[in-house]
Amino acid sequence: MSFRNAFRRLGQGLAGKIKNNGLQTALKPGNIIADQGFRITPTGRIPITFVTPEKLEIKAFGEEGMNLLEVAHENDVDLEGACECSCACSTCHLILEEGLYDNLEEPSDEEMDMLDLAFGLTETSRLGCQIKLTKDMANSKFYLPAATRNFYVDGAKPTHH
């Protein structure tokens, strides 16, 4: 068995164990990838990594101009978006690395108001629905907080479209 196939089987087994243990982190076996640098794919898809509170790294790919909530949903990352990208909740709260945060435009007043409601707010917190993916973000890591607060919809959790 080749190393690639062995690693793929390991990833499939790990994904099954994670799902069976009841963690709500959605993983695809192909998203569990060894720690290495990834390049923008020939189709222009930009690689990024979402890091769960359990420190699991989920490799994701998105198109330039997509917001990070869309990238998360397209790659089956469990990042809620209760208001469906209208900047009316804080459920897509992400924590960014300082260098990446410093290179982004300042958050709008509306985003800052929503971030004030976010659980686990940090100095580098942003809403995933308000950050557009760029080529400069290739190989960046985005950290999911330990919990979210949903003040937008009481008890309802939207499904990914």
pTM of the predicted model as reported, rounded to 2 decimal places: 0.69
Domain with 131 in it: what CATH number? 3.10.20.30
Domain of residue 136 covers: 35-143
Residue 87 lies in a domain: yes
Confidence of residue 4 (pLDDT cuts 50, 70, 90): very low
| Mean pLDDT taken over the chain | 79
Q: Is residue 6 part of a domain?
A: no
d(CA 111, CA 55): 26
Average pLDDT, integer, range 71-93: 94
Residue 125 located in a structural domain:
yes
Higher pLDDT, 103 or 6: 103
What are residue 143's DSSP bridge partners? Answer: 51, 95
pLDDT at residue 76, rounded to an integer: 96
Give residue-wise pLDDT tens across range 9-25: 445 444 444 443 333 33
Count structural domains, the chain.
1
* Residue matched to tokens 């940090």: 122
Whole-number pLDDT of residue 90: 93
Q: Which tens digit of pLDDT belongs to each residue from 116-132?
A: 999 899 999 999 999 99
Does residue 9 lie in a domain region?
no
Residue 120 lies in a domain: yes
Kindly report which listed range (20-34, 73-87, 90-104, 141-155) carries the lowest average pLDDT score. 20-34
Helix count and strand count (H, E) for the chain: 4, 5
Confirm whether 73 is domain-assigned.
yes
Residue 151 lies in a domain: no
Looking at the predicted structure, is the pLDDT value of residue 44 above 90?
no
Report CA-CA distances (Å) from 94 to 5, 16, 29, 65, 97.
Answer: 33, 25, 23, 18, 10
Residue 18 domain-assigned (yes or no): no
Number of residues that this document lists for the chain: 161
Q: Which amino acid appears at position 47 of this protein?
A: P
